[in-house]
Amino acid sequence: MGNEIMKTYEQINDRIESGKAVVLTADEIMDYVDKKGLKAAAREVDVVTTATFGPMCSSGCFLNFGHSKPKIRMSEAWIADVLAYTGLAAVDVYLGCTQLRHGDPANMYPPGEFRYGGGHVIEDLVAGKTLQLFALSYGTDCYPLREIRTYFTIDDLNQAIMVNPRNCYQNYNVAVNRSEQTIYTYMGKLEPHQKNANYCSAGQLSPLLNDPFYETIGVGTRVWLAGAHGHVYAEGTQHAGGGARTPEGVPIGGAGTLALTGDMKQMKKEFVRGVSFIGYGVSLALGVGIPIPILNEEVLRRTCVRDRDILAPVVDYGFDYPQNTGNVLGRVSYEQLRTGRIEVDGKTIEEVGSLSSYSKALEIANLLADELRRGDFQLSAPFAPLRKDAKMKPLVKRRGNR
């Protein structure tokens, strides 16, 4: 009867608070369970920490500047010359990480450079740097000021709230290029004739791969978001929990995603990093850690997922991905990917790279484990589950009057 409740969130939180919680990382738990056995380990271990660090293009932040004298209702705003969205209440803006700076080279002479964008602004803000705000307004009776140029740091803001609609993809594609020419994608530089392959997941350390059925990760789950204590506020966009799975329940494609939020003022700069991909664009690399409470043996068993159990789809970004054919060339395990060499369709690809940092993910899993052991991080039970049956819908091109 492995699935009966052994521990509750309250009991685990009490142990965390008293500094007695037994916490292991998802990297350590497999060997521990092999040694101790599932039953004994489930009684003993309170939390397993999972983590990931990689580009998460659906990241951004809400900033509140406070009111100037006289007041302004910003209708257009730029931070460090990066356009922010102002269709919000006065002096609130939303800054997205893939927005480019005005005047950026923006792929001039492809494959070209992208020097600076929203992700870099977010990195600079978290790092405490001084940034320029330039805003325009049409002027109203209540907000008469029509233009403002000033400088600020994150400390000057009332709120700097990171809001990421699509983070922590449960699994992800391995990208190859079967076309005749080199292509430049969000999965990096892909050489023709499948000469190289790139992947992007922390594999056995990754949060949703350690909780494949969303038993403990749901809306309301407290997470470690770049050092801040944030939470899951919704299922992520494109969440497709109903995708195909291995017999053990591990999704064999993208599947689930999380929408996360956290206070940027509490974040650590080394886990919030603007990135530029030659020939593609800018983004933000972000570190996320999620604790999994060991409520019962089944929850523990699923945290023992190993790289060899996780299969990723190999997709041709030369044709199939951009044309949305849904074609998958084959599947490879994370164990194979980590060797730097994979076999697809009988052909060996000798050059395999990762866009996700296992090293940083490991660091995050350990930092979170330390916080839990010290009693500095409390768990929260989800108050709504993520859907296990959701499928991703395509955009259908229809005629206007139908």
Find the part of the chain contacting another protein (CB under 8 A) among 224-232, 275-283, 314-322, 377-385.
Answer: 275-283
Could you say whether residue 359 binds another protein (CB under 8 A)?
yes
Listed ranges 67-75, 222-230, 245-253, 270-278: which one lies at the site for another protein (CB under 8 A): 270-278
Among 105, 340, 345, 347, binds another protein (CB under 8 A): 340
The answer to whether residue 289 forms part of the interface with another protein (CB under 8 A) is no
Among 59, 360, 364, 386, binds another protein (CB under 8 A): 360
Token digits for 114? Answer: 């992208």
Least Å from the CB of residue 74 to another protein: 30
Binding another protein by CB under 8 A: which of 216, 273, 302, 313? 273
Please provide the size of the chain in residues: 402
When binding is defined by CB under 8 A, the residue of 15, 21, 52, 53 that contacts another protein is: 53
Contacts of residue 100, defined as CB under 8 A and 6 or more positions apart, other chains included, come to 82, 106, 114, 116, 117, 118, 281, 282
Q: Are 44 and 20 in contact (CB under 8 A)?
A: no
Count of C-beta atoms within a 10 Å radius of residue 220: 15
Token reading at 10: 């309250």
DSSP for 329-384, please give it: -EEEEHHHHHTT-EEETTEEE-EEEESS-HHHHHHHHHHHHHHHHHT-------SB
Which of positions 361-390 make contact with another protein (CB under 8 A)? 362
Q: Which of 60, 117, 165, 188 binds another protein (CB under 8 A)?
A: 188
* Catalytic status, residue 304: no
Cα-Cα end-to-end distance for the chain = 54
Q: Which stretch binds another protein (CB under 8 A): 2-10, 88-96, 314-322, 344-352?
A: 344-352
As given in the structure block, the two tokens for residue 5 are: 């409740």
Determine, following the binding rule CB under 8 A, whether residue 90 of this chain makes contact with another protein.
Answer: no
Q: Is 196 in the site for another protein (CB under 8 A)?
A: yes
Q: Which of 242, 330, 353, 375 binds another protein (CB under 8 A)?
A: 353
Output the CA–CA distances (angstroms, integers) from residue 233 to 63, 165, 166, 250, 385, in the order listed. Answer: 18, 9, 11, 23, 11
Q: Specify the stretch interacting with another protein by CB under 8 A; choose among 47-55, 61-69, 150-158, 288-296.
A: 47-55
Catalytic residue chosen out of the listed positions 142, 168, 200, 304: 142
DSSP H helical segments within 72-129, as ranges? 118-126
| Amino acid symbol at 327 | N
Give the total of residues touching another protein (CB under 8 A): 28
Select from 7, 36, 146, 189 the one that contacts another protein (CB under 8 A).
189
Contact yes or no for 25/48 (Cβ under 8 A): yes
List active site positions.
142
Q: Applying CB under 8 A, which residues contact another protein?
A: 53-55, 188-189, 196, 198, 273, 275-278, 283, 285, 338, 340, 350-360, 362
